[in-house]
Amino acid sequence: MQNPAAPVLSAEVAEALSAGRPVVALESTLLAHGLPRPANRKAADEVEDAVRAGGAVPATIAVLDGVPHVGLTPAEVDRVCADTELPKLGVRDLPVAAALGRSGATTVSSTALLAARAGIGVFATGGLGGVHRHAGDTFDESADLVALARTSLVVVCAGVKSILDVPATLERLESLSVTVVGYRTLRFPGFYVADSGSPVDWSVDTPAEAARVFAACRELVPGAVVVANPLPVDQQLDADLHDRVITDALAAADAAGARGKDVTPFILGHLHEASAGASLEVNVRLVLRNAELAGQIAVELAALSR
């Protein structure tokens, strides 16, 4: 009997890994929870195509009937995108889903874990979770941060959403010894906007440099390398609109009594409505950019391995 917790690799992903070809992991929470239906299904194909444009094989990850799948068939992507009841699965949820035969979309933390277990060295996502505002009172901090401290891979992202406490998130990443580099920038991106207002200490200018940093990281220290890839300023959400809506949304969330995991979807829904859907367009745009860059980094990493 197969171990239900052992990842099942798609034929394409298994062949690529066996041959030492570049592979990029993709999360499924973006598809199940981050984008509206049916636009999420189109975006799923576009993100995988962006990885291929970067030169790598995409491996979208999800848990189906208790079994982690690394690389999904089109029918499996259909299932993830269509299931309105599909829960998010972080690292802590994987044992329960495996034992009870449940399905779920993988978050940054669980995607990173499953990707590393499968031997994938590069992961593309939209934005990381982080330290929430008022975390000193609520202890509300994403499991992504600790997971990245324990998992060896490159994570290409657009920083963290600016609804979080960005300086505190960067402090936690430093405390956890997670390497953070900006891609052609020394400013940490704020997801919808190119600059969150916080600096980073290091930057890389090419996919090859990012790959070399990760290769050195694997030799020297445990944990991930976060490559923070900002949108160009002319592609970001209007900065004035962003700041105004975030301020209003935080106040509305507090007035509505939103707490814990309910805060983020409340605020993002508010942002989507106030921006007339522009925030979703920006979301897809940045994910596609991250996926293509991740593909390019994976190509360079595979070359180093050879």
In sequence order, which residues have a C-beta less than 8 Å from that of residue 130 and are 6 or more positions away?
Answer: 141, 142, 144, 145, 160, 161, 164, 165, 166, 168, 169, 172
Question: The tokens of 80 are what?
Answer: 């993830």
**How would you label 182-199 residue by residue, b for 16+ Cβ within 10 Å and e otherwise?**
bbebebbbbbbbbbbebe
In sequence order, which residues have a C-beta less than 8 Å from that of residue 257 and are 6 or more positions away?
Answer: none
In sequence order, which residues have a C-beta less than 8 Å from that of residue 295 and are 6 or more positions away?
Answer: 22, 24, 50, 51, 52, 53, 54, 55, 56, 122, 124
Query: Does residue 83 lie within any of the structural domains?
Result: yes
Q: pLDDT category, 3, cuts 50, 70, 90?
A: low
Under DSSP, is residue 270 helix (H, G, I), strand (E, B) or coil? helix
Query: Does residue 2 lie within any of the structural domains?
Result: no
Query: Does residue 279 lie within any of the structural domains?
Result: yes
Query: Does residue 205 lie within any of the structural domains?
Result: yes
For position 1, what pLDDT does the model report? 42
Count the domains in the chain. Answer: 1
CB atoms within 10 A of CB 85: 6
Query: Does residue 1 lie within any of the structural domains?
Result: no
Judge whether residue 254 has pLDDT over 70: yes
How far apart are alpha carbons 224 and 245 in whole angstroms? 32
Query: Does residue 216 lie within any of the structural domains?
Result: yes
Query: Does residue 57 lie within any of the structural domains?
Result: yes
CATH of residue 161: 3.40.1790.10
Short-list 108, 111, 106, 113, CA closest to 150: 113
How far apart are alpha carbons 250 and 247 in whole angstroms? 5
Give residue for tokens 């445990």: 222
Identify the domain containing residue 156 by its residue range: 8-305
Under DSSP, is residue 189 helix (H, G, I), strand (E, B) or coil? strand
For position 5, what pLDDT does the model report? 64
pLDDT tens, residue by residue, 197-209: 999 999 999 999 9
Q: pLDDT category, 129, cuts 50, 70, 90?
A: confident
CB atoms within 10 A of CB 306: 6
Give residue for tokens 């007035």: 255
Report the catalytic residues. Answer: 27, 161
Q: pLDDT category, 280, cuts 50, 70, 90?
A: confident
pLDDT tens, residue by residue, 288-301: 999 999 999 999 99
How far apart are alpha carbons 38 and 232 in whole angstroms? 27
Query: Does residue 102 lie within any of the structural domains?
Result: yes
Q: Mean pLDDT over residues 259-282, rounded?
A: 75
How far apart are alpha carbons 303 and 214 in whole angstroms? 13
pLDDT tens, residue by residue, 11-37: 999 999 999 999 999 999 999 998 888
